[in-house]
């Protein structure tokens, strides 16, 4: 009887002692390596309890969004450091200079991992992205499919034409909702309302109205997919993607395949010559038509591969635009005078009878740009992943092996007061934890300097500038959209504000209670920032004069 009891006691003791002993030893090693001044050293692994498992339990139980935030809070001063889910190491980088070095290095394909694990790209199409067994001719055609449609349709006057389509769709959608002149209508849940409206209008401007006939539940399914995948971390194994995400993703892909069969069948479905309209209700925008036509002509891209490409565009358009518009709008409404001033500036470019909005001028308003930058900084918590294709030296001491997933978090950098003060002292005149619409506005001392990198001005005495701040607002500072180009999100954000502020009057119902609905900024490292409770607004139409 004694021996089994002793054995049980030994097992229990082992399960208790070994984890704490492991944590004690790994903590000592972690701090010793962090303090070492040696060059070319490998970053430390954050302390853990179970050898071989490392941090997998914490990631699974707490969720990557909160777990990374906890590790940064506890060990952030010793970055860079590894977090391991089993044998897979993920490197956390925090220093702005090191972030710049990482982003400047060649990238072996964090985006390809998303296409594979999140969007379900077939193996034959993955070979194209990875360049496996692909001829030079096919590589050239593939690069053309990736780059040319965006350059052709989402820059310059073509981008303006596409935005006019979106503006027309959004204006019609909002004006069909029976809002009245002189009488307020209360919207109890502004997040859900704008999510539905902006998503539908964005999809209609990209894919046409027939998408909703072929797939009535596309908006609902898309946001179910987005919610299920917001904790995705490039570099983690496939089994970290929830099964619920795969199920709704397959519904989305099947719905997009139906739309493709009806509207993009044959070899010459695209209508993209200059004489063709910018948008077709069945085939969608010229961007979608040309991109799909080029992918349809590639060996290795089947119908499922084409649907994946469309889903990735759908995701990039909606996940990048709706949250920014929501937070910009409600933060503006917290300061009614600022919202009124912006509406007055937009009214200068509001269309007279028979004309269109001057969307280029509206987009270039410094306050619009500063609002987007501040919203992106504080209300968009992004994870930026980079996988270097070669060994990478960062800082003076660290050497990172090739193909190591490197993770950077936009909120982490956005709240680094010392770094912001060093880069631009005026940027921290108000605390970084507070939303400050004019944080990126500078006095316009010389109009001749307005064309410098990252700077735009207007007739007022103000200038928008991101100069020296790009490494600290990485989601804003880098090209914002891999698929839709640098200008799409910026222009759509401005166009949406133009419609909402010039054609309607809006008020927060409970401005004094707004702070209670804003999530704490340091509790999650990444993920969609959603209000903690419903945000109610009042809305009514402007008179025809716009006053």
Domain CATH code at residue 122? 1.10.630.10
Q: Are residues 56 and 171 in the same domain?
A: no
Is residue 142 within 8 A of residue 291, CB to CB? The reply is no
Regarding whether 439 and 343 lie in a shared domain, the answer is yes
99 in any annotated domain: no
Answer whether residue 115 shows pLDDT above 90: yes
- pLDDT at position 168, please? 96
Six token digits for residue 267: 């070899």
Using one digit for the tens of pLDDT, what is the confidence trace for 303-326?
A: 999 999 999 999 999 998 999 999
Domain that holds residue 39: 2-92
| Three-class SS of 514-530 | HHHHCCCCCCCCCECCC
Does residue 298 share a domain with residue 240?
A: yes
Output phi, psi for 477, to 5 deg. -70, -35
**Is residue 357 domain-shared with residue 286, that is, in the same domain?**
yes
Out of 59, 92, 125, pick the residue that ends a domain: 92
The pLDDT of residue 465 is 94
What pLDDT, in 10s, does the model give residues 165-213? Answer: 999 999 999 999 989 998 999 999 999 999 999 999 999 999 999 999 9
Domain boundary among 65, 92, 119: 92
Residue 37 has pLDDT above 90, yes or no: no
Specify whether 282 is located in the same domain as 398.
yes
Supply the pLDDT for residue 13.
Answer: 60
Region 106-114 average pLDDT = 81
Do the domain assignments include residue 440?
Answer: yes
Tell me how far apart the alpha carbons of residues 375 and 301 are, in angstroms, rounded to a whole number.
Answer: 37
- The structure tokens listed for 49 are 């309890």
Could you tell me which residues are beta bridge partners of residue 394? 398
Domain for residue 402, yes or no? yes
- Judge whether residue 459 has pLDDT over 50: no
Number of domains in the chain: 2
* 55/156 same-domain check: no
| Tokens standing for residue 246 | 């795969």
Say what the pLDDT of residue 545 is.
44
Confidence at residue 7, expressed as pLDDT on a 0 to 100 scale:
62
Regarding whether 305 and 374 lie in a shared domain, the answer is: yes
User: Helix 303-333 and helix 243-263: axis angle, to 10°?
Assistant: 110
The widest CA-to-CA distance across the chain, in whole angstroms, is 96
> Do residues 84 and 192 both lie within one domain?
no
Residue 101 domain-assigned? no
pLDDT band, residue 297 (cuts 50/70/90): very high
Domain stops at, among 46, 64, 92: 92
Same domain as 119, residue 87: no
Q: Does one domain contain both 166 and 57?
A: no
Q: What is the chain's mean pLDDT, rounded?
A: 90
196 and 311 housed in the same domain? yes
- Joined together, the tokens standing for residue 212 give 């909703």
Q: Is residue 175 part of a domain?
A: yes
Query: How much is the pLDDT for 20?
Result: 87
Tell me: do 141 and 249 sit in the same domain: yes
State the pLDDT at residue 460.
Answer: 55
Has residue 387 been placed in a domain? yes
How far apart (Å, rounded) are the C-alpha atoms in residues 473 and 410?
6
Residue 98 lies in a domain: no
546 inside domain: no
């Amino acid at each position: 009887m004694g021996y089994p009891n002793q054995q049980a006691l030994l097992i229990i003791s082992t399960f208790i002692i070994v984890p704490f002993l492991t944590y004690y030893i790994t903590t000592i090693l972690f701090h010793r390596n962090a303090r070492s001044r040696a060059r070319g050293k490998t970053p430390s692994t954050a302390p853990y309890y179970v050898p071989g498992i490392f941090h997998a339990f914490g990631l699974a139980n707490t969720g990557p969004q909160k777990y990374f935030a906890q590790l940064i809070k506890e060990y952030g001063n010793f970055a860079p450091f590894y977090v391991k889910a089993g044998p897979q190491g993920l490197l956390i980088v925090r220093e702005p200079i090191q972030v710049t070095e990482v982003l400047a290095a060649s990238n072996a394909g964090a985006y390809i991992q998303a296409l594979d694990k999140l969007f379900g790209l077939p193996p034959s199409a993955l070979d194209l992205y990875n360049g496996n067994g692909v001829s030079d001719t096919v590589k050239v055609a593939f690069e053309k499919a990736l780059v040319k449609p965006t350059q052709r349709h989402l820059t310059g006057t073509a981008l303006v034409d596409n935005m006019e389509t979106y503006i027309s769709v959004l204006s019609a959608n909002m004006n069909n909702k029976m809002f009245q002149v002189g009488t307020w209508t209360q919207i109890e849940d502004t997040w859900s309302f704008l999510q539905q409206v902006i998503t539908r209008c964005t999809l209609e401007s990209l894919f046409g109205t027939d998408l909703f006939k072929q797939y009535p539940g596309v908006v609902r399914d898309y946001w179910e997919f987005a919610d299920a995948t917001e904790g995705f971390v490039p570099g983690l194994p496939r089994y970290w993607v929830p099964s619920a995400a795969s199920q709704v993703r397959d519904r989305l892909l099947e719905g997009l395949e139906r739309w493709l069969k009806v509207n993009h069948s044959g070899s010459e479905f695209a209508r993209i010559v200059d004489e063709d309209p910018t948008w077709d209700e069945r085939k969608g925008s010229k961007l979608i038509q040309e991109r799909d036509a080029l992918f349809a002509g590639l060996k290795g891209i089947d119908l499922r591969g084409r649907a994946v490409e469309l889903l990735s565009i759908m995701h990039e358009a909606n996940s990048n635009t709706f949250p920014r518009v929501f937070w910009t709008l409600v933060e503006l409404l917290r300061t009614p005078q600022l919202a009124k001033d912006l509406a007055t500036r937009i009214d200068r470019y509001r269309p007279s009878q028979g004309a269109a909005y001057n969307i280029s001028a509206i987009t270039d308003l410094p306050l619009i740009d500063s609002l987007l930058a501040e919203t992106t900084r504080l209300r968009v918590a992004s994870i930026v992943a980079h996988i270097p294709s070669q060994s990478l030296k960062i800082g003076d001491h660290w050497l990172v092996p090739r193909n190591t997933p490197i993770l950077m978090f936009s909120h982490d950098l956005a709240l680094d007061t010392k770094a912001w003060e060093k880069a631009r002292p005026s940027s921290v005149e108000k605390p970084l934890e507070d939303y400050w619409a004019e944080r990126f506005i500078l006095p316009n001392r010389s109009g001749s300097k307005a064309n410098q990198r990252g700077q735009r001005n207007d007739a007022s005495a103000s200038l928008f500038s991101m100069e020296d701040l790009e490494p600290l607002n990485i989601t804003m500072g880098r090209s914002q959209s891999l698929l839709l180009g640098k200008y799409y999100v910026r222009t759509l954000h401005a166009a949406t504000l133009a419609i909402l502020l010039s054609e309607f009057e809006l008020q927060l119902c409970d401005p004094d209670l707004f702070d209670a609905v804003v999530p704490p900024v340091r509790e999650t490292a990444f993920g969609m920032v959603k209000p903690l409770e419903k945000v109610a607004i009042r809305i009514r139409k402007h008179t025809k004069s716009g006053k």
